[in-house]
Structure 1
């Protein structure tokens, strides 16, 4: 069994909605009794792989054995996509099977050619590693017949051998996959710039995104949010309710701060996030000393803060307006009216442990923190909570320990919504997670002493059903639609340039700033020639897709370059075929033959919405 990358393609091919590479696989030993239903069930239940029907276009076979190989290769594509996603690589198009046939040199081998999506910046060895690994796993499953007893072994292979190389190739944030998955479903094109930064959309409609942060977020605002002292000071100066705290650098200073602020208290690092080093409900000097030690293990900058009674609510501000609001409860177990808290915790941990490590939550023991948290609510490990009653295992929700959420968007008082949106604008953040501590979010902050506890840059967006359901709404407003600009392609010789200029002028007459480019000529909306350091239609078009002044593009195809590179776009609005005088990209003195020309036109037609022949 081996795989070889046979073609490097920088662009879009075969109708894929993400750039693609062609891989060739050779396989043997296909079982006569392949149970696809069992394999699919295993992939879906054990790994949570989405099983989609295989598309009927491009790949067709009449041979029963070839069909069997093709069916397994389709599972390879689905598993390869899944492996990349859990590694943080936003690949959503499953790819295509181009052909399946007996190897000419060795009839005992099956040769499968597949086109798989790639992400800019991911080395080819990463693509090969992904799908070679997926092939090995699928072949293992089909040989075992009934793979129900193999999950731990396969989990370990994925966790220890497959994922580490992939994760080393990408910078991934926890919001990246949910947001880009929604963008893909909303037909919004995106490309990886590098370091986890993506361009969504084209030209004048393009935006840059890093996790949930966008290009309009203020760098200064971001700097302020990472320092709790500065952030609270700015909030207070702007007339917004903020925490009262005192910076300290010793236990003795912490005691003095307690004398000033009074009990109960919160101790936290001034420059950390995700709930790291935070202790709440401190009511005496002994607990204060322990809390200080905990915070000091994370940072040298420590805050002693007056505790505000209430619950933490996250108001997600997107495009400067509240998109949703959730109540953030601590890690807990839910009662069923039959089992003790201890039994519920054990059951939850067993279910969690049975999952692959990348789907697991942190194991939550019945430790001192859990006992204190449940005691405050009147529970013990031997309590039998009623059905639906939650028993807290931590005092607060945190990234470290997790928690549960409840949708409260319809219940947020308008005044509370207003201060959250004001806070985001104050820090000049398009997107922000504003945490309000309130005893009742339905009541205005000025009636119950609620505060803005934190303003968070690049908030986690997409980690729950509420957020995921609203990402398309957020993206539609952010991108002003699907982020696409009109693009037309004209094919032919010098006459195609003339037709292209005519199409460009028609856009300009409609007050649309349209650029025209061929492989060696680029014309701005004002008629000036734009100089590039390369003679390549792919590279020039790619550059113009990043140009914020480009409101439309006309691409003039005069060579067969796209057969080598693929297209720089996954869709265009009109194809105009002027004539057949198309030259060879590598030899400008030679025209391409009719077979190559038809191959080029077929490639273009994959992505064309409207085809015209001039």
Structure 2
């Protein structure tokens, strides 16, 4: 390793809850070598160069807990691992993936650290760490580093790999309500909830968006006909098949007219306010390029509006404006478009920004608009002349609070008529504050509407449309969860996990099980190898048939991948694992293991339960980290922790003369006797142990499974052929 270098020993993506946080992180094991003797204040010029390259890091509070805290740490002296953490997070933030969590901790050997950063995508997180290393080394050695180019490259990665902002708004709203989410593909297909209680979104489409409704919405002529049948005001129009037919239809409808594709989107190919044969015939060719058919409609004078309907209510509305430039006598129209319109940061080439770039392409509606004003893209308008460039697709101003209730009701009716649960309803009217009456019309109903105009309006209030969609899919009083049991120990939990799954199955729940013996669904084995690996175990939560799930895990899987679920209803720890065998993960001594294993209890829901072995002090001490209830168990009913827990009014379980007892306060339930032939045979044949039965009974108790079913489940366990 060269002098003053940072070496990556390993970079690990922890996808699920882990020893650092509840959300996904990158954990980099690094060796800073000689830099262990050179904190930042001993590196000549380093701090000044780093601050000049990334001045926005003044906002990093860091340990002092104040604005500029990280820069204070630089000035007083901090080490390369800590700097790597902050620079990586800053690069992600500059690239559009703002993540606030990071840690840098000594890993044991001199100069070796674990650097942890929050990230929502493995490739983005890994790249930000690698870029941060190169930037820091350049600042140390006073060599050039192109920070803007690095940020641009990382921004492209975020744009290509991360979910779009519309989807992200729904995911974040779900997270705020502790609704679990799973990204199902490289795009915007995301699952909200688990198993049989899940819902799915694809940006602003849901698993309730029917193919029939989407097909209707794409056929604008059919949509108008259906709306008209239901009394919704729509513009008169005709489908035409030639430029000549378009002009004939325009004359029959009455000038001026609008010409547009019957199945286009995002206002592409739409030409408005046409009154001459040449304009109508030119507009026909433009529209045909964007769709399979062309519609000629009556032109309605008024402003363009987009009303977002979710379920049975309108939740947001945006008003459009024309896009124009003002001549200066020096620049051409094309140059003015770049200088005055496309410079707007809310315009871009993809769906991550609310407005599209204006492109003056031959045969486009924009070029037709210019021609009607006697101009081309190369014309140089005189100083002060206003040139209209684009009439449609410029939704800029939030008007949600002023939409007339009758207009909102018609928008809901339009969405319902088409059959969409989420719809963007396009309304043209001079005044959205008044009923449509004879002054306005509904021109389109769109499936999968963009949310960006409502999340980031140029003027007015941003609307929580992601939250509205999350609430539409999963009502406020629900979470989309199924019963999840997580169990961890020191290699002693497989039989317990299988018995728990068996009890849930007998309760009538279609149950998934991921354990050391394999991956099971409804007692059927799907695979044998690597069933506890994150991706394999997560399959249970994606399965729409699964009504309950049991996950066995161990310290290695926790440290190397994280847990495959975000929270659990019941978390079990039977014995504290040892550090032996985990040296490659730099876990340290046995004394540090409780700091890691506590994760299993940290993820227990507030209305859930931790099941802990009272006879293992390190395990019993984990009770302090549980947000929910705690059940202690032990073989000896006189164990001090058990006695104290019972005296506090809490639940305990134990064996008394071969009898399994569940006790709370003065009430005891005798579950079963280990001396009964069926149970004794299981114990004798080593198919179950007394601890397995005790643990499973506690979990069943936490899940409101009655003692009769517990007793029957234990006795019939041997009859389950999958075991």
Task: Identify the residue that residue 73 of structure 1 maps to in structure 2.
Answer: 84
Task: Identify the residue that residue 26 of structure 2 maps to in structure 1.
Answer: 21
Task: Identify the residue that residue 99 of structure 1 maps to in structure 2.
Answer: 105
Q: CA deviation at 1:15?
A: 3.5
When residues 496 and 287 of structure 1 are mapped into structure 2, their CA distance, relative to the original with a 3 A threshold, is closer
Residues 332 and 403 of structure 1 are in contact (CA less than 8 Å); yes or no, is this contact kept in structure 2?
no
Matching residue within 188, 200, 206 for 1:214: 206
1:448 has 2:446 as partner: no
Q: CA deviation at 1:322?
A: 1.2
Task: Identify the residue that residue 322 of structure 1 maps to in structure 2.
Answer: 314
When residues 364 and 67 of structure 1 are mapped into structure 2, their CA distance, relative to the original with a 3 A threshold, is same
Q: CA deviation at 1:434?
A: 0.7
For 1:32 and 1:570, locate their aligned partners in 2 and report how far apart those are by CA, in whole Å: 45
Task: Please report the TM-score for the alignment, with normalisation by the length of structure 2.
Answer: 0.63
For 1:458 and 1:141, locate their aligned partners in 2 and report how far apart those are by CA, in whole Å: 46
Q: CA deviation at 1:331?
A: 3.1
Task: Identify the residue that residue 476 of structure 1 maps to in structure 2.
Answer: 471
**Secondary structure, in 3 states, of the residue corresponding to 1:79?**
helix
For 1:569 and 1:352, locate their aligned partners in 2 and report how far apart those are by CA, in whole Å: 41
Q: CA deviation at 1:530?
A: 4.1
Task: Identify the residue that residue 578 of structure 1 maps to in structure 2.
Answer: 574
For 1:552 and 1:208, locate their aligned partners in 2 and report how far apart those are by CA, in whole Å: 19
For 1:219 and 1:351, locate their aligned partners in 2 and report how far apart those are by CA, in whole Å: 38
1:427 has 2:418 as partner: yes
Q: CA deviation at 1:285?
A: 1.8
Q: CA deviation at 1:315?
A: 1.2
Residues 307 and 316 of structure 2 are in contact (CA less than 8 Å); yes or no, is this contact kept in structure 1?
yes
Q: CA deviation at 1:132?
A: 1.6
**Secondary structure, in 3 states, of the residue corresponding to 1:178?**
helix
1:42-121 aligned within 5 A: 42=56, 51-54=59-62, 67-82=78-93, 86=96, 93-99=99-105, 112-117=113-118
For 1:41 and 1:368, locate their aligned partners in 2 and report how far apart those are by CA, in whole Å: 46
For 2:86 and 2:347, locate their aligned partners in 1 and report how far apart those are by CA, in whole Å: 21
Task: Identify the residue that residue 280 of structure 2 maps to in structure 1.
Answer: 288
Aligned residues: 554
1:50-199 aligned within 5 A: 51-54=59-62, 67-82=78-93, 86=96, 93-99=99-105, 112-117=113-118, 127-137=125-135, 154-159=147-152, 161-164=153-156, 170=161, 172-173=163-164, 175-196=166-187, 197-199=189-191
1:12 has 2:2 as partner: no
**Secondary structure, in 3 states, of the residue corresponding to 1:532?**
strand
**Secondary structure, in 3 states, of the residue corresponding to 1:99?**
strand
For residues 314-364 of structure 1, the C-alpha deviation after alignment (integer angstroms, 9 at most, x for no partner) is 110113421122222233689xxxxxx999999856975899999897479
When residues 444 and 521 of structure 1 are mapped into structure 2, their CA distance, relative to the original with a 3 A threshold, is same
Residues 558 and 583 of structure 1 are in contact (CA less than 8 Å); yes or no, is this contact kept in structure 2?
no
For 2:81 and 2:184, locate their aligned partners in 1 and report how far apart those are by CA, in whole Å: 34
Task: Identify the residue that residue 403 of structure 2 maps to in structure 1.
Answer: 412
Q: CA deviation at 1:557?
A: 4.4
When residues 440 and 290 of structure 1 are mapped into structure 2, their CA distance, relative to the original with a 3 A threshold, is same
1:268 has 2:260 as partner: yes
Residues 25 and 116 of structure 2 are in contact (CA less than 8 Å); yes or no, is this contact kept in structure 1?
yes
When residues 506 and 427 of structure 1 are mapped into structure 2, their CA distance, relative to the original with a 3 A threshold, is same
When residues 558 and 81 of structure 1 are mapped into structure 2, their CA distance, relative to the original with a 3 A threshold, is closer
**Secondary structure, in 3 states, of the residue corresponding to 2:290?**
coil
When residues 301 and 553 of structure 1 are mapped into structure 2, their CA distance, relative to the original with a 3 A threshold, is same
When residues 304 and 356 of structure 1 are mapped into structure 2, their CA distance, relative to the original with a 3 A threshold, is closer
For 1:103 and 1:596, locate their aligned partners in 2 and report how far apart those are by CA, in whole Å: 16
Higher RCO (Cα < 8 Å, 6 or more apart): 1
1:457 has 2:447 as partner: yes
Residues 203 and 546 of structure 1 are in contact (CA less than 8 Å); yes or no, is this contact kept in structure 2?
yes
For 1:580 and 1:315, locate their aligned partners in 2 and report how far apart those are by CA, in whole Å: 56
Q: CA deviation at 1:461?
A: 1.1
Residues 169 and 467 of structure 2 are in contact (CA less than 8 Å); yes or no, is this contact kept in structure 1?
no
Q: CA deviation at 1:205?
A: 3.5
For 1:450 and 1:5, locate their aligned partners in 2 and report how far apart those are by CA, in whole Å: 63
Task: Identify the residue that residue 302 of structure 1 maps to in structure 2.
Answer: 294
Residues 560 and 597 of structure 1 are in contact (CA less than 8 Å); yes or no, is this contact kept in structure 2?
no
Residues 269 and 296 of structure 1 are in contact (CA less than 8 Å); yes or no, is this contact kept in structure 2?
yes
Q: CA deviation at 1:605?
A: 4.2
**Secondary structure, in 3 states, of the residue corresponding to 2:464?**
helix
**RMSD of aligned residue pairs (Cα, Å):** 4.9
Q: CA deviation at 1:138?
A: 6.0
Task: Identify the residue that residue 528 of structure 2 maps to in structure 1.
Answer: 534
When residues 470 and 174 of structure 1 are mapped into structure 2, their CA distance, relative to the original with a 3 A threshold, is closer
For residues 302-323 of structure 1, the C-alpha deviation after alignment (integer angstroms, 9 at most, x for no partner) is 2221112222221101134211
For residues 130-159 of structure 1, the C-alpha deviation after alignment (integer angstroms, 9 at most, x for no partner) is 4322444566678889x9xx9xx6444443
Q: CA deviation at 1:460?
A: 1.0
**Secondary structure, in 3 states, of the residue corresponding to 2:307?**
strand
Task: Identify the residue that residue 636 of structure 2 maps to in structure 1.
Answer: none
For residues 258-309 of structure 1, the C-alpha deviation after alignment (integer angstroms, 9 at most, x for no partner) is 1211101111122221111211111222322332343344345222211122
Residues 245 and 303 of structure 1 are in contact (CA less than 8 Å); yes or no, is this contact kept in structure 2?
yes
Residues 433 and 457 of structure 1 are in contact (CA less than 8 Å); yes or no, is this contact kept in structure 2?
yes
Residues 574 and 608 of structure 1 are in contact (CA less than 8 Å); yes or no, is this contact kept in structure 2?
yes
For residues 526-549 of structure 1, the C-alpha deviation after alignment (integer angstroms, 9 at most, x for no partner) is xx6243323524456423322445
**Secondary structure, in 3 states, of the residue corresponding to 2:525?**
coil
When residues 80 and 498 of structure 1 are mapped into structure 2, their CA distance, relative to the original with a 3 A threshold, is same
Task: Please report the TM-score for the alignment, with normalisation by the length of structure 1.
Answer: 0.73
**Secondary structure, in 3 states, of the residue corresponding to 1:179?**
helix
1:489 has 2:500 as partner: no
For 1:382 and 1:180, locate their aligned partners in 2 and report how far apart those are by CA, in whole Å: 48
**Secondary structure, in 3 states, of the residue corresponding to 1:489?**
strand
For residues 79-125 of structure 1, the C-alpha deviation after alignment (integer angstroms, 9 at most, x for no partner) is 34336x64xxxx66445334268995xxxxx75532345657x6x5x
Residues 309 and 411 of structure 2 are in contact (CA less than 8 Å); yes or no, is this contact kept in structure 1?
yes
When residues 571 and 172 of structure 1 are mapped into structure 2, their CA distance, relative to the original with a 3 A threshold, is closer
For 1:353 and 1:414, locate their aligned partners in 2 and report how far apart those are by CA, in whole Å: 33
Residues 491 and 576 of structure 1 are in contact (CA less than 8 Å); yes or no, is this contact kept in structure 2?
yes
Higher alpha-carbon deviation: 539-548 or 186-195? 539-548
Unaligned runs of 5+ in 2: 1-5, 327-332, 361-365, 376-380, 583-588, 606-624, 634-723
For 1:501 and 1:573, locate their aligned partners in 2 and report how far apart those are by CA, in whole Å: 17
For 1:595 and 1:238, locate their aligned partners in 2 and report how far apart those are by CA, in whole Å: 71
Residues 337 and 358 of structure 2 are in contact (CA less than 8 Å); yes or no, is this contact kept in structure 1?
no
Unaligned runs of 5+ in 1: 45-50, 105-109, 335-340, 385-390, 587-592
1:256 has 2:248 as partner: yes
Residues 348 and 356 of structure 2 are in contact (CA less than 8 Å); yes or no, is this contact kept in structure 1?
no
